[in-house]
Amino acid sequence: MSDETPPEVRPISFHLTLLGRLRAYLFAGILITAPISITIYTTWIVVRFVDERVTALLPAPYNPNHYLPFNVPGIGLIIVLAALTVVGWLTAGFFGRLFVRVSEGMLARMPIVRSIYGALKQIFETILARQAATFRQVVLVQFPREGMWRIGFITGTTPGNTQDVSPEGVLNVFVPNSPNITAGFLVFIPPSEIVECDLTPEEALKLLVSGGIAAPPPHRTAAARPAVNRNARA
């Protein structure tokens, strides 16, 4: 009879299973708490940044924090939102529009300032006023070379001789970088070289920011997919 002791298989299997479960619980905890914590922390930084600069400009009699033993968060942000609302209300009137026209006329005479102001104004009008509805159309383009596909957003068309580079014309496509979607490239591509994508803008942005990890669910119904604009140049 052999004196060798058979290996203990069950305790090792249980040990590995326990470690696997603990690791899964750890990842689940990170997945739940990390986005919430980062969002709260970022919001707190923005609110605190605005409060520190706005409340510093308020005289002591008009500062609510002067009468309280602690600082009330969000006072500066509320003041900024109220001030912007008042400015918008004033510019809606005759004198407000006249003031805006005179101010823009003065800025138009400054060589460098007029370019910066014009670009910023167009960007904010596009984002806030939603004048470019086609910006929400997600497409696939071959960039920077043929055979390499990237996600892009149709932003419109540029009139002039830029349309002469192709017999069918070209579309403005913004190709964002990953994971920094605030930077990217503006490319002009003929419509025949653009592949329409059924991703929603939110899904496309998540895919870019996560580097392809946060992929959309594979079994989406046709009703849940966005309506793609078949006539992108219209």
3-class DSSP assignment, residue 30: helix
71: closest CA among 86, 89, 54? 54
On whether the CB atoms of residues 158 and 134 are closer than 8 A, the answer is no
Query: Which tokens go with 49?
Result: 């940044």
Residue type for position 85: T
Q: Residue 190 burial by CB count (10 A; 0-12/13-18/19+): exposed, middle or buried?
A: middle
Nearest 5°: CA angle at 14, between 13 and 18? Answer: 120
CATH of domain 133-224: 2.30.30
Q: Is the dihedral of CA 11, 13, 16, 21 positive or negative?
A: negative
Contacts of range 92-99, beta carbons closer than 8 Å, 24 or more positions apart: none
And the tokens for 194? 């653009």
Residues in the chain with pLDDT values less than 70: 1-16, 126-136, 219-234
Residue 199: is it exposed, middle or buried by C-beta count within 10 angstroms (0-12/13-18/19+)? buried
Sort 140 into a burial class: Cβ within 10 Å, 0-12 / 13-18 / 19+: middle
Write out pLDDT tens, residues 27-72: 888 888 888 888 888 888 988 888 888 888 888 787 777 777 777 7
The confidence score (pLDDT) of residue 209 equals: 85
pLDDT (0 to 100) of residue 175: 93
d(CA 209, CA 199): 15
DSSP per-residue codes, 160-198: SGGGGGSTT--EEEEEE-SS-TT-EEEEEE-GGG-EE--
What digits encode the pLDDT tens for the residues 149-164?
999 998 888 888 889 8
pLDDT computed for residue 194 by the predictor: 92
- According to DSSP, the β-strands at 195-196 and 149-156 are unpaired
Query: Among candidates 148, 124, 125, 132, which has minimal Cα distance to 201?
Result: 132
CA–CA separation, 211 and 181 (whole Å): 11
Domain ranges of the chain: 19-73, 75-128, 133-224
